[in-house]
Every structure is written in C-alpha cells, then in structure tokens.
Amino acid sequence: MRQAVNDTDHHAVDPSLAVLRQYFGFESFRGFQKEIIDHLLSGQDAIALMPTGGGKSLCYQIPALLRPGVAIVVSPLIALMQDQVDALWQNGVRAAYINSTLSASQIGTVLQQARHGALDLLYMAPERLLMDSSLAFLDELPLVLFAIDEAHCVSQWGHDFRPEYLGLSVLHDRFPQVPRIALTATANALTRADIIKHLHLRNARLFVASFDRPNIHYTVVAKKEAKNQLKRFLDAEHPGDAGIVYCLSRNKVEEVAHWLTACGRRALPYHAGLDKAVRQQHQAIFLREEGVIMVATIAFGMGIDKPDVRFVAHLDLPKSLEAYCQETGRAGRDGLPANAFLTYGYEDVIKLRQLLANSQLDTALKRVARQQLDTILGYCETTQCRRQVLLRHFDEAYAQPCGNCDTCRAPVATWDGSVAAQKALSCVYRTGQRFGVEYLVEVLLGKTSERLLALGHETLSTFGIGRELTAQQWRSVYRQLVAADLVAVNAEHGGLYLTQRSRPVLRGEQPVRFRQDPKALVPTNRPRKEGMDSSDPETQPLWELLCTVRREIAQRQGVPAFLIFHDATLRDLVEKKPKTLDALANIHGIGKRKLQTYGEEILGALQKFFHR
C-alpha cells in the first residue's frame, strides 16, 4: 500500500527517496532517474534513453507508488511482463499483467483489482492495449501515467521494429492529460525522431543518460575457428557462469549449443524455428537456473531481466552498433564485471550484405542498413579504445581511453600497409572486380588452380606478387580495406570492387596503416566476483552458502533466484556480514518487504556459518 511509506523514515523529506529505500532497498538514485520522476510527477511527457541495466523501470515505478491510480506499462514481451511483475511483488509492490497466458477469468480478476484500486502497475502488450474493450476499460480508471517500454520498436530505422507500436499514438489523442514516458536502451537520431513522430511526443523532454556500461569489458577478435575461440574465452573467464551466445543462423545455433553441451557446459538453443513451447521452456530454464548458456539468434533477449548474465558472446557480426549495444547490454545488469566477446570475419560481411540485398526493405532502409553494417565493421577494425568508438556513435564524448577493453589493455600494433594495399587493390582491378577474397588471395600468392588457369589469370601482373604475406594476413588486409571503404562487396555474388576512395591509395598519394591481428585472446585477468577478497578463506564458502540459501528460497516460491536477491546483494552481505535486522536493512537491494520476508532466514544462515 502507498500509505505504508513511513513518515519517520530518515528520507521522509523526499517522498521519492523514501519509496526507493522502502520498496527497492537502494540509498540513492542514479543519473537522471530523480529528474525523470519529478518531471512525470509534474504531469509532463518524457523520452528516456538509458542503457540496459541503467534503471529505466524505476523511473515509472516510483511515480506509480506516489500517485493514486494505476500506471499502465506497455511491454512487447510476455517474459518481460512476468519477470517484472514477479520482481515487484517480491518488493511489496502491487502489480499485474494482462496477456495471452491468462484465462478469461484470470483477466477478469485483474480488471476487478484495477477497478477497486488494488493495483499500482498494470502491464499490457500494445496489441492488447489497443483493443476497443481495453481502451474503454482504461476510460474508467484513474491513470497515473503510460510507460511505453522498448520504444525503439516504433521505428523502422531501429533494430526491432514492431508495427503494432504504431497505434500507440491513440494514447495522446484519447488520454491527453495522462503523462507518458517512452523508454529505450538504444536509439540513434533517426530512431529518436520516429519515436517522437509516431507516439506524438513533440513536447516531451528528452533525457539521454550515458550509454557507458563501465563494468563491461569489450573484446573483438578476428574469426579463426570461432567455436574454439569461444571455448578458450569461456574456460579462461567464465568456467561456470551464465551467459548468452549469439549466432546469425538457426543451424549454427543448434550446432554451437550441441557442441557446448559436449564440452560439458549446460547450453540450450533458442531461435524462431523451435516450437513455441520449447522456446518458453528453454527461456524459463535460463532464467531460473544458474550457470546456463543460451545459444540464440537475435530472436532471444529483449526484455530478459536476468541480472547475473556474466557474458554475451557474438560468433557472427551483428547488423549494427545499436543492435550490438542492446545485446551486449544484457550482460552485467547487476553492475558486477561482465564480458562482451565478439569474433567476426569477412564472410560475415558477405552473408549480411547478401541477406540485406535479398530482403524486402525499400531502397532507403537498405541504404541505412548498409551504413550500419559499415559502422560495426569499422568498430571491429579500430585500433582506438572501443568504448570511445561506441560512445562516439551515440554522440557521447569519452575523454580518456577506458582501460577496460582489449585495445586498451593490449594496444594494437599497426604496420605500414601502403604497398600491400596497392597490391590488393590492383589485384581486385586486374581480375575484373568480380571475385571474392579467397580467389584474390590465390592470385596474390601465385597459387594455380583449375579455375585460375581456365581464366588465364596466371598471366596477370598481380599473379604471385604477394608472397611476402601469408593467406591469413591477406584476408586481414582485405577485411580492413572493406572496413576503410577502399573496396566494397557486391551483395549479389560477394565479389569485391573498387570505390572512389581507393584512387589516391593506388596513386601512392595516401598512406595506409593496418592493424596487426593479435595472435591470441588476451585474458582480462579480472576477478569474476568483484569485491570478493580471494585471500580471505571465509569469502568463497560464505558466498556459496548465501547462493544456496537464495536458491532454496527461490525453489520454494517457484521463481528465478535473482528475484530473491541479486548477486550485488549477496556481495554486500559477504562484505558487511550483518548481525541484526537493522544492519540487514542497510544492505543494497533489501527493502522493507524483503527484510520482513527473508531477514530472519538470512541472519540465521549467517549466524550458523560463523558459529559452526
């Protein structure tokens, strides 16, 4: 109940902070959270761009607890609704959802709860909200606000367009006095403009938080036996952690999931080709159990609110930096160290450009998609700090190299590639600007094949002029020439052709430097549980005990363990070792309801541990 906010609480002078402490167990707001909350409470509209894990949901949950009435949350995914409602009930917040998993009688019960003032938040999918019966029902309610989550879905320029979002402009027309907030983790300038246009948010205040996720370490490697590269990464960094592995195709998802299982890891496939019940089962296992790896296409992930995902790995090149940031942002939502690992190759570029060429997108959308692909390729090939490149893409300055990415921890060596570039470009031209990399490398190395001899290319001036480099080095040269827009890929057959920018290089007027591919992955060598003192013999056993207690509570309730306590809460318990309920009340993430529900059990486990 809202009235439960304690007037004697030391934060009572600030109702928002009092609610934050009582329900969510946090001592202070982050970034723009407080400004957004105050803005909504004043009755104004807002657009909030905050990174995944940046605390977007608090921006509408707290106003819902401070104002009489119901806040309506528009969410595109059933899993997201269920997770958020379960988490809110754990914190003592009255929330419910209406979606296709409920029976007619269950929906009727939720509607009655809303009518009788027994709900603070009601989650609905956009197609459900837009039904005439739903809109008529909302007419009856005292509405606090509308929160439109994953608002980038309204834009065709975004990475997850959902046409049903386009109808949400009706909220402005039908409920003009109810404040609205559109929220998303990634949106470039085109996507932001679409959000404003399609949701009729022209007078909304734009809040753009930093897109930086300082706890994520970024690593990008050139693809060479990608599965083995993944295994070395997991063995070195995440031997028992939960994570997500993204692949471009359904077949590859199945292949990698089976391979990881054979390697002794708990891995499950997820893609649109699987039966819906199987997908839901795999998703439930991933959320509820520890140490599970989900191998998936991009069909998986949006709205997955699992805080202890310790890594996100891409075995194929993402389609854009927006998609990459959205997907890697699913790691380390609890603020603890996490890894983003990407392996990519020239073949990824060919495959994505062919998919794009064969798509039903119109010319303008295809042009934007090609630009997005070029941008992510440039990110992969950069010798600069990766965090600086990422944030610059979102118009955010980052003054100094971050020290928490592969190019910072092991600066990339470069070499003068001017002559090599001229040879590679000349070979493209001499062979007719219609062959792929593997054939061009054969010509440069002077390797005769039946196809090459049939075409008479052994007589070309570029035949055999590149023997000073290996085939792998020439592949790297061509990959970087594509990234630098000195050559382009024909989307129909994958052959290379010269661009206008290649001319000064061929004439020797413009020098070229290439990055030297590292020979092996450089381990991050960071503790997997930040804040744990490995020299303290009590740390690991206590951590494992608390994990066991959390898991037992979750199993009794039939909910994921992270809904009971995040890893960050367990870390705080290990560090502070509270002995009283008052001390436990000051642990990160333990609000009034969790203190009442789990306090004695946690204190009992701690007492038993220290007196064993």
Q: What is the 3-state secondary structure (H, E, C) of 368-389?
A: HHHHHHHHHHHHHHCCCCHHHH
Domain ranges of the chain: 2-208, 216-409, 414-515, 539-610
Tally the residues of the chain.
612
Q: What is the CATH number of domain 414-515?
A: 1.10.10.10
Architecture of domain 2-208: 3-Layer(aba) Sandwich (3.40)
Q: Exposure of 13 by Cβ count < 10 A (0-12 exposed, 13-18 middle, 19+ buried)?
A: exposed
pLDDT (tens digit, 9 = 90+) per residue, 79-135? Answer: 778 888 998 999 999 999 998 888 999 999 999 999 999 999 999 999 999 999 999
Q: Exposure of 398 by Cβ count < 10 A (0-12 exposed, 13-18 middle, 19+ buried)?
A: middle
CATH of 216-409, one of 3.40.50.300, 3.30.479.30, 3.90.1150.10, 3.20.20.150: 3.40.50.300
pLDDT of res. 154: 87
pLDDT (tens digit, 9 = 90+) per residue, 570-611? Answer: 999 999 999 999 999 999 999 999 999 999 999 999 988 887
pLDDT (tens digit, 9 = 90+) per residue, 487-542? Answer: 887 766 678 899 999 999 999 999 998 888 765 444 444 444 443 443 455 678 88
The secondary structure element, H or E, covering residue 95 is strand 95-98
216-409 shares its CATH topology with 539-610: no
Residue 27 pLDDT > 50? yes
Q: Report the C-alpha gap between 149 and 59 in whole angstroms.
A: 11
Q: Report the C-alpha gap between 13 and 57 in whole angstroms.
A: 23
Contact (CB, 8 A) for 256 and 227: yes
Chain-centre distance for alpha carbon 568? 19
pTM of the model: 0.76
Q: What is the phi/psi pair of residue 107, to 5°? A: -65, -40
More confident residue, 192 or 341: 341
CATH class assigned to 539-610:
mainly alpha
Q: Report the C-alpha gap between 73 and 67 in whole angstroms.
A: 15
